[in-house]
Amino acid sequence: MAEEQQSVASKNIVVIEEAGACKKKVCVEIPEEVIKDATDEQYDSLRKDAVVPGFRKGRAPRQLLEKRFGKETTEQVKLKLLADASDSAIKDNDLNVLRDPDIDFEKIELPANGPLKFDFEVEVRPEFDLPQLEGIEVKKTKLEVADEQINREIEQLQKWSGVWTLRQGQEVELDDQIIADVILKIDGMEEEEKLDNIEIYVRQNGFVGAIPVEKLDELLVGAKAGETRQTSVKVPKTYFREEYRGKKVDVQITIKDIKWLKPAALNEDLLKRFGAEDENELREKMRDTLQSRLETQQRTEMTEQIYKYMLDNVKFDLPVDIVADQATMLLQRQYSSLTSRGLGREQIEEQMEQLRAGSEQQAKEQLKTFFIMDKIAEKLDIDVSEEELNGHIAQLAIQRGQRPERMREEMVRDGSLSQFRLQARENKCIAKLLESAKITEIEPEKKTKKPPKPKKTAKKATTAEKKRPTKHKTTAKKKTDE
């Protein structure tokens, strides 16, 4: 049967044309005799099972079958011919397609006479040559955990465990949190948007509600409770919230409360929270954590150098549609990741705005890296066995406190197993390339301490300073020490 199908397919006339970056236009002509043979075969098959009054099974005349089942049979013949012809055209011409062609079968009609002609476009894998894979120059940063790093890590733990504390009668400072009533007048919208008791974090580039505000610190630092500050901003055209893109927004902020993050004391309660008996044990835990983090960072830096070498030395175009799809998928994945980490709306929107700006370039680099690493795996004959794959799944399951069998079932169910296998194969490729790389060990960069930012003088409030109310309702999520 396979040979018969091949001989029929070989009668088709197929012409391949260039249709852009990594795109081919496939023009197919199915001869009239092939259509006739397929139609005869379909009616022969139909005759065996068709129930026609006045005739035994298999005895109904063709003319009667055509009258009763002609439209349905013609459609079946057409669909089969198109499917077989498109598949054969791709296979016989060794087209390494990235996804199935999008053919609108309904718009193609089976002619009463003559050949059936149709065409379609496919996206194919890019063609390129690999650079030299041995002796890639890679810099390896020496691992060094200094006491200063441990101190910073402990300070960070204290901040994470801290509470937002009211600044009584004081001015706003950088990194404070304010509770404010906000009025947003958005260009093109009749009604003002009013937001009561919202949290605003005082940063260089922050958010007021869902509106990104550059130099927010300059607007708010130095202000006191009861004051109102105003500014106008132009929302970027690339902003991920469509309703605000490219619009001018007048922002009015009336400060109600000012809070600063008071770090938790390094006491017995805090030590217990992090599983330490005393400060020395906590420092050792932090040292181990930092050591592990530095090893991961070292490996990541070396991997990134391999990727950069490949991207710098391999040039090819990518299909526009696939880049766009990849960029969209990246943003969706990053949004889900930020949401799952429990970040607040302001933090998510701030990061999404930055991610959106670079999503297309990131998508291109990821796709190019995938194609390059795929070709490297093929050249070096690298694959991941079932035993290796199960080993990687077991390691991940242990980290997440799950049974390996259950984790594998989840991966099969959500479709992530194939991606996990590809990542494991890519890691093997990187390890192989590093084996033959020319590695130079370098000292870690010394981070210079930035001088403290000078305190900014208070700007004149846009409305008269009001008496501060004795109590305010706020939506602050963290515990407040009053």
Q: Would you list the domain boundaries of the chain? A: 2-123, 163-262+451-481
284, amino acid identity? E
Q: What residues have CB less than 8 Å from 344, skipping those under 6 apart?
A: 199, 477
What is the SS3 assignment for 423? helix
User: Beta strand 211-214 with 205-208: parallel, antiparallel or unpaired?
Assistant: antiparallel
Tell me the two tokens of residue 240.
């991920």
How many Å apart are CA 96 and CA 378, to the nearest integer?
Answer: 14
Question: Quick one: what percent of the chain has pLDDT higher than 90?
Answer: 52
Report pLDDT digits (tens) over 294-345: 999 999 999 999 999 999 999 998 877 777 777 777 777 667 666 656 566 6
How many Å apart are CA 411 and CA 419, to the nearest integer?
Answer: 9
Burial track 400-413 (b if 16+ CB lie within 10 A, e otherwise) = eeeebeebbeebee
Q: How many CA atoms lie within 13 A of 296 on its CB side?
A: 6
Q: What is the pLDDT of residue 90?
A: 94
Average confidence (pLDDT) over 250-270: 94
Report pLDDT digits (tens) over 113-125: 999 999 999 999 9
Burial track 81-108 (b if 16+ CB lie within 10 A, e otherwise) = bbebbbebbbeeeebeebeebebeeeeb
Q: What radius of gyration, in Å, describes the C-alpha atoms of the chain? A: 33
Residue in 237, 179, 245 with CA at minimum distance from that of residue 210: 245
- For 425, the enclosing helix (H) or strand (E) is helix 417-435
- Please say whether the beta carbons of 86 and 52 come within 8 A: no
> Is pLDDT larger for residue 189 or for residue 258?
258
Q: What is the pLDDT of residue 122?
A: 92
27, exposed or middle or buried, with CB in 10 Å at 0-12, 13-18, 19+?
middle
Average confidence (pLDDT) over 467-471: 39
Q: What is the pTM of this model?
A: 0.62
Report pLDDT digits (tens) over 19-45: 888 889 999 999 999 999 998 888 888
Average confidence (pLDDT) over 143-158: 91
Query: Is the pLDDT score of 474 beyond 60?
Result: no
CATH number of the 163-262+451-481 domain: 3.10.50.40
Average confidence (pLDDT) over 89-97: 93
Report pLDDT digits (tens) over 423-459: 999 999 999 999 999 999 998 877 655 555 545 444 4
Select the CATH number that applies to the domain covering 2-123 from these four: 3.40.630.30, 3.30.70.1050, 3.40.50.2300, 3.40.190.10: 3.30.70.1050
Query: Is the pLDDT score of 478 beyond 80?
Result: no
